[in-house]
Amino acid sequence: MTALRSYVSGAWHTPPDEGAPVYDAVTGEQVARVSSTGVDFAAALAYGRRQGAELRRLTFHQRAALLKALGSHLREHRDELYALSARAGATKGDSWIDVDGGIGTLLSYSSKGRRELPNATTLVEGEPEVLSRGGTFAGRHLLTPLHGVAVQINAFNFPIWGPLEKFAPAFVAGVPSLIKPASQTAYLTARLVELIVESGILPEGSVQLVCGDVGDLFEHLTEQDLVGFTGSATTARRLRTHPAVVERAVRFNAEADSLNCSILGPDGDVELYAAQLVTEMTAKTGQKCTAIRRAFVPRERLAEVTEAVRARLEQVVVGAPLVEGVTMGPLVSLRQREEVRAAVKALGGEVLFGDLDQVRVEGADAQAGAFMSPILLAGDPDRAEPHEIEAFGPVSTLMPYESAEQVVDYAARGRGSLVGSIVTEDLGFAREVVLGLAPWHGRLLVLDRTDAKESTGHGSPLPVLVHGGPGRAGGGEELGGVRAVKHHMQRTALQGSPDVLTAVTGVWTPGARRAEDVHPFRKSLAELRVGDTVTAGPRQVTDEDVAHFAEFTGDTFYAHTDEAAAAANPLFGGIVAHGYLVVSFAAGLFVAPEPGPVLANYGLDNLRFLTPVKPGDELTVTLTAKQISPRENADYGEVRWDTDVTNQNGESVAKYDVLTLVAKEAR
Ligand code: NAP
């Protein structure tokens, strides 16, 4: 058997040596060999950086569309990935988390990229900051993709989801990835990367793969590269203190192990609690960084919970993952089982369920595969071990607590976790415990009878929410929607005149030049430029207008209708026009009524009424094209218009962004 190939510098590399063996978790047969001998790491990084230029030429929307195509392509190969995954011990349910979860993450980032990012190659963040009295000097935050490679080191337990959840935000940002899977399951990631490369969907160089150890890769990291690591706290510590990482301040994100807790409230539903605990103990055979390791229950409910959990653990069927009825497969390897057994011994405590040395196995040779029984331990929360030792298998420790304050203290002894859950119907308890736990957790789930049915569960990181945790959990943050994309970009505070800010960012900044010729609503997306403006007005607001608007809409709030009451209002001191009347009049002023390239108004953003409008005031509106974002697969795009409504004294009475859809070509 030849060792797995790596994909570096645009070609498949076959190692010249045999490499180290990897074994099937179920049968113990050799399933692959792994070696990175002969990989030129410096060249691979340099190649990735060069190819990054290609990727950066694409817009966020173009990259997002490629992710979608890739997700669909991988979906066609699910069955193959599921079959391979079973060799690592994964049941169908486990593979669903890994394979479908990974594809789902690609699709989620594709959708986020198209909806929340502009069709551009750079990003501006927040509103401009005016830095001078005269308005000639302003600042705003500009985000550009780093010019390096995102080196992604993954743990063995999620060979598909792990690489994909790191790759997706890097790709949307415009940064190429170099994926290094854990050796024990590298054959799955290798097949994934083969599928990606064979598809030809991504620009060449977007993804590289190194199977085997990383050799001198870290020596060649530069200031523009990033490292995304998932694995044990020990490896994380070693890598983040690598001299190259330290000296060159390489952006380093770590997702490490953590002793996640689940807390049953004094009134919480025991069945919900027990069901979730058993799911977390057995899904992926407990080899999940988010699994529940510490189960806290009120002391007086300990016996009740023990029985409920035991009853559910009795139902667990251990065996070959593809055999009908099996609900929990083996651990990934015999070595991993030895590590889990050693950790259970070190944890100590009475065994409430399970047997460390024996287990009934369905459909496989119990001696050959890495099978083990789920183990429920009784723990003393005042001892250090349950808060320090991670048994990375189907193992959890049940512990009593006396009060909300005490359980918060116990939870914090884990010194930082990825996730915690609280099962309670009591909102006061939920609030107290959540606020106590939050500084120690990256994610918190409150489970009750209302959300239980639809909840995605304790163990599932979601692409739209932050994944990661403080302290022992690695101190990193992954996912969380667009925030993970931004992690791969440099945020620069750009200072200059409004014209400079507009020219650089492509987003019109107040104070910048405006062009007023043809009405901008008569221009197609091809003709329209940022800064194109129409000024319309004035129009006087009369008493009759206000009274008519009140009657017509039914908005007869006293400030618009009752002279005496309005006079007593400390903000108005008399009748004022409705804010929506002002907005409606503004629309009436700036509209170009005949059919043309503007197809629809789909909303307003950031509407603020700044100065009251009184009958007799005269309104003028200035509408300026602020941002133009053509859609990739449609014959129109979005235009955001800066809108400023002023009165006869030049004071702004309302400011907002009008959002429209505009045809790409003249109609
Ligand atoms: P690990 O031994 O720390 O390995 C993790 C990764 O680091 C593997 O790809 C490994 O490659 C690589 N690695 C090891 N030593 C290295 C070195 N000196 N230089 C560069 N790379 C090195 O962890 P694991 O056993 O695979 O995974 C289990 C652990 O990961 C558990 O503790 C679990 O809690 C944690 N985990 C955390 C998360 C999370 O999101 N926070 C998710 C999953 C797992 P080789 O396999 O080739 O050695």
Query: Could you tell me if the CB of 24 is within 6 A of ligand 1?
Result: no
pLDDT digits (tens, 9 = 90+) for 485-524: 999 999 999 999 999 999 999 999 999 999 999 999 999 9
Q: Is 399 left (phi over 0), alpha (psi -120 to 50) or beta?
A: beta
The continuous run of DSSP H or E covering 582 comes out as helix 579-590
Residue range 154-168, pLDDT digits in tens: 999 999 999 999 999
Query: What is the C-alpha to C-alpha distance for residues 236 and 256, in angstroms, rounded to an integer?
Result: 7
What spacing in Å lies between the alpha carbon of 236 and ligand 1's midpoint?
8
The CA 154 to ligand 1 mean position distance, Å, reads 6
Q: Please tell me if the CB atom of residue 235 comes closer than 6 angstroms to any atom of ligand 1.
A: yes
The last residue of one of the domains, among 440, 456, 472, is 456
Residues 300 and 371 in one domain: yes
Which of 232, 259, 333 to mutate to test ligand 1, by most ligand atoms within 8 A of the CB atom?
A: 232
Q: Say yes or no: 268 and 409 in one domain.
A: yes
Q: What angle do CA 335, 338, 339 make, to 5 degrees?
A: 90
- Whether residue 537 is found in the same domain as residue 445: no
Evaluate if residue 246 carries a pLDDT over 80.
Answer: yes
**What local confidence, expressed as pLDDT, does residue 290 receive?**
96
At residue 666, does pLDDT exceed 90?
Answer: no
Please indicate whether residue 225, judged by its CB atom, sits closer than 6 Å to ligand 1.
Answer: no
Is residue 424 located within the same domain as residue 360? Answer: yes
Which of 184, 210, 217, 230, when mutated, tests ligand 1's pocket best, judged by the most ligand atoms within 8 Å of its CB?
A: 230
pLDDT score at 2: 84
Residue 651, pLDDT score: 97
pTM score, two decimals? 0.94
DSSP string computed for 441-475: EEEEEEE-TTTTTT---TT---TTSEE--SGGG-S
Band of pLDDT at residue 614, cut at 50, 70 and 90 = very high
Q: How many domains in the chain?
A: 3
Between the CA of 7 and the centroid of ligand 1 the distance, in Å, is 21
- Counting ligand 1 atoms within 8 A of each CB, the residue from 6, 97, 156 with the most, and so the one to mutate, is 156
| Domain annotation covers residue 392 | yes
Taking the C-alpha atoms of residue 655 and residue 640, their distance in angstroms, rounded to an integer, is 13
pLDDT tens-place string over residues 112-150: 999 999 999 999 999 999 999 999 999 999 999 999 999
User: What is the domain-level CATH number for residue 582?
Assistant: 3.10.129.10
Distance 109 CA to ligand 1 centre (A): 25
Q: Are residues 230 and 292 in the same domain?
A: no
Domain of residue 90, residue span: 40-121+144-257+483-489
- Mean pLDDT value across the chain: 97
pLDDT reported for residue 638: 96
- Closest atom of ligand 1 to CA, residue 155: 26
Give the closest residue (by CA) to ligand 1 atom 26. Answer: 155
Strands, sheet with 226-230, edge to edge from the N-terminal-most edge strand: 11-13, 6-8, 207-209, 177-180, 150-153, 226-230, 251-255
pLDDT over 80 at 401, yes or no? yes
- Residue 19 covered by a domain: no
452/536 same-domain check: no
CATH number of the domain residue 56 falls in:
3.40.605.10
Same domain assignment for residues 232 and 267: no
Active site residues: 255, 289
Decide: helix, strand or coil at residue 194.
helix
CB atoms within 10 A of CB 445: 20
User: Does 130 map to a domain?
Assistant: no
Same domain, 274 and 231: no
Residue 132 has a pLDDT of 95
pLDDT digits (tens, 9 = 90+) for 215-226: 999 999 999 999
What whole-number distance in Å separates Cα of residue 480 and Cα of residue 463? 6
CA distance 153 to 136: 47
**What whole-number percentage of the chain has pLDDT above 70?**
100
Res. 667: pLDDT tops 80: no
Q: Which of 456, 472, 501 is the last residue of a domain?
A: 456
**Same domain assignment for residues 333 and 311:** yes
Residues 168 and 60 in one domain: yes
* 267 shares a domain with 217: no
Q: What band does 257 get if pLDDT is binned at 50, 70 and 90?
A: confident
| 232 pocket-lining for ligand 1 (C-beta < 6 Å) | yes
Grade residue 1 by pLDDT with cuts at 50, 70 and 90: confident
pLDDT on residue 85: 96
Question: How many A from CA of 217 to the centre of ligand 1?
Answer: 16
Q: Is the CB of 183 under 6 A from ligand 1?
A: yes
- Residue 469 falls inside a structural domain: no
Residue closest by Cα to atom 12 of ligand 1: 182
Domain endpoint, select from 438, 473, 489: 489
For 341-355, write each residue's pLDDT tens digit: 999 999 999 999 999
Q: How far is the CA of 586 from the centre of ligand 1 (A)?
A: 59
What are the E-state strand segments in 80-160?
123-130, 138-145, 150-153
Phi then psi dihedrals of residue 163, to 5 deg: -65, -40
Q: With a 6 A CB cut-off, is 156 part of the ligand 1 pocket?
A: yes
- In short, whether 180's Cβ falls inside 6 Å of ligand 1 is yes
CB count in 10 Å sphere of residue 325? 8
